[in-house]
Amino acid sequence: MRRTGYYIKPRKRERTEAAFHARISMNLLGDRDKMPVTEVPVESVRDLIRIIYISIYSGNRSNHYEICRSGKQVEMQGYSLPYFDIVKKR
């Protein structure tokens, strides 16, 4: 964090990371408690990268979601990805 006067302003990376995780829990999951990775809308390679970010950052305690890995692989748009369920934390 950068200190500017009396207000501590979060860095851009911290804001975007928080926004990313909020988008996952609010927009992607919505009212659902659980969602398989195969139901995540994939329209471009950028969406596949978001799925990878979901998997990488799932261990972060501040997230509102976690993932349950199954050990299986799934193919999405020609890419092989690990299969997991995105679960909303309670």
pLDDT digits (tens, 9 = 90+) for 60-82: 777 778 899 998 999 988 888 88
Give me the average pLDDT of each 10-residue run along the chain (90 residues): 48 61 72 90 84 82 85 89 88
pTM reported for the whole predicted model: 0.69
Q: For residues 82 and 76, what is the distance between their CA atoms, to the nearest angstrom? A: 10
Q: Could you tell me the CA-to-CA distances from 86 to 3, 4, 64, 70, 71 in Å, in that order?
A: 35, 37, 10, 12, 14
DSSP 77: T
